[in-house]
Amino acid sequence: MKWKQLILPRHLYRTYKLGRLWKNQAKLPWLTMLLRFGRPLPLVRQLGSDRPQARVILHKQGIWSIVAGARFIRYTTKPKSVAKLQKEHVMWRLLREHGLADMVQPSIRLSACGQGVALETGLLRQIGMDDQVEMTVPIMRAFMAAAKLAVPDALPPTVEAGIKLGRQACGGELPASFALESAIRDCFARQVRIGVSHQDLHVYNIMQDAGGKPILIDLKSCDVDRIVSIDILMFAGKYIQARMFDNLLECVFSAQQLGWCVAELEPALALIDLPRTYWSHILILHLMGAGSADTQGSEQEISPISRQLYQRMLSRDWSAGCPERDAET
């Protein structure tokens, strides 16, 4: 989780993202023209007779994304980005091996391309914002069905890291106004679905094929032995954020106040096998933990800004909106 997305109000974050998008878009016609002039040569060779119709649609982190007829090709020579494309391919194979072939592209081809690699798939279409729940729920169901039901050995590492950060920020333990640490741990001391998780499930990572079937993309962060519900919670958090002009932490707090009553999200929320009373707590800790790659192990000092942010967030009255909480603890 990027800190900017966590703490910036949504309209500021959107402006920042739009600025970057505009900067990116401005160079695309030039890169397309470069292709027409036969550069970069390995990519031109990869495109073959499709080159005249090829269009660069994205250029990010040294990765060229090109649409050529029904082909979608990504090419890079940058070592970090080569690793990203290789990971995408490895995860695509892994998802297929875990019975999720129907949720991903039928084929992805990874090939050496000059000094770099090319990753080629079929062209997909964006899904409508209003269709995102309907298009994503079948994918969530498939992930749930492919997972096994078991009591986890430990808390999700992100939640564990979030608890440590929370303790550090709030003088040794989580504030009572937030939740007892034992109550959070109890949420995971029961059978839940454990299996493959996408780890970045949101509307822009779901596309559709020519027949309108939802297809999951951006597979590089997938992992095994994860609690699948965390993906659904993240999806729900981002969905709510897209409708509120606020930062993600604030949106998760508001969701708690509403008891997570968001009618259009209910088909997705109904799949979550963690106690509803603690969804926001789990999500906040997960977000804190996921955003703390630099403080993992958390023996390191957290920055004063993060400390203040976490302290303010966790010290609010989290019991409002959870009438059953006392009964559950």
Ligand X SMILES: Nc1ncnc2c1ncn2[C@@H]1O[C@H](COP(=O)(O)OP(=O)(O)OP(=O)(O)O)[C@@H](O)[C@H]1O
CA–CA separation, 250 and 247 (whole Å): 5
Give burial (CB, 10 Å; 0-12/13-18/19+) of 276.
middle
Q: What CA–CA distance (Å, rounded) separates 155 from 51?
A: 50
Closest distance of CB 285 from ligand X, Å: 23
The two three-digit tokens of residue 97, written as one number: 């091996």
CA distance 14 to 5: 9
- Taking CA 193 as the corner, what is the angle to CA 192 and CA 198, rounded to the nearest 5 degrees? 130
Instruction: Tell which residue, 222, 208, 23, 219, has the closest CA to residue 119.
Output: 219
Closest residue to bound ligand X by CB: 218
CA separation for the pair 225, 197 (Å, rounded):
8
Given the rule CB under 5 A, which of 61-69, 80-88, 151-159, 212-220 is the region that contacts Mg ion? 212-220
Residue 86 touches which of Mg ion, ligand X, none (Cβ within 5-8 Å per kind): none
- Closer residue to Mg ion, CB minimum distance, 205 or 315: 205
User: Please, where are the H alpha helices in 147-227?
Assistant: 157-169, 181-187
Part of the chain binding Mg ion (CB under 5 A), chosen from 56-64, 180-188, 218-226, 297-305:
218-226
Sites of contact with ligand X (CB under 6 A): 58, 60, 65, 72, 121, 123-124, 204-205, 217-218
Residue 204 beta carbon to ligand X: minimum distance, rounded to whole angstroms? 5
User: What are residue 113's DSSP bridge partners?
Assistant: 116
Stretch that binds Mg ion, among 14-22, 31-39, 100-108, 199-207 (CB under 5 A): 199-207
Q: Given candidates 65, 77, 86, 205, which one binds Mg ion under the rule CB under 5 A?
A: 205
Binding flag, residue 131, Mg ion (CB under 5 A): no
CB 247 within 8 A of CB 6: yes
Residue 50 binds to Mg ion (criterion: CB under 5 A) = no
- Sort 82 into a burial class: Cβ within 10 Å, 0-12 / 13-18 / 19+: buried
Contacts with Mg ion by CB under 5 A: the residue count is 2
- Least Cβ distance, residue 211 to ligand X (angstroms): 14
CB closer to ligand X out of 28 and 183 = 28
Partner interacting with residue 121 (select from Mg ion, ligand X, none; CB below 5-8 Å by kind) = ligand X
With CB cut-offs between 5 and 8 Å by kind, which of ligand X, Mg ion, none does residue 43 bind? Answer: none
CA 208 to mean position of chain CA atoms: 18
- Residue closest to Mg ion when measured from CB atoms: 218
When the beta carbons of 205 and 296 are compared against Mg ion, the nearer one is 205
Smallest separation, CB 18 to ligand X (Å): 15
The residue ranges that bind Mg ion (CB under 5 A) are 205, 218
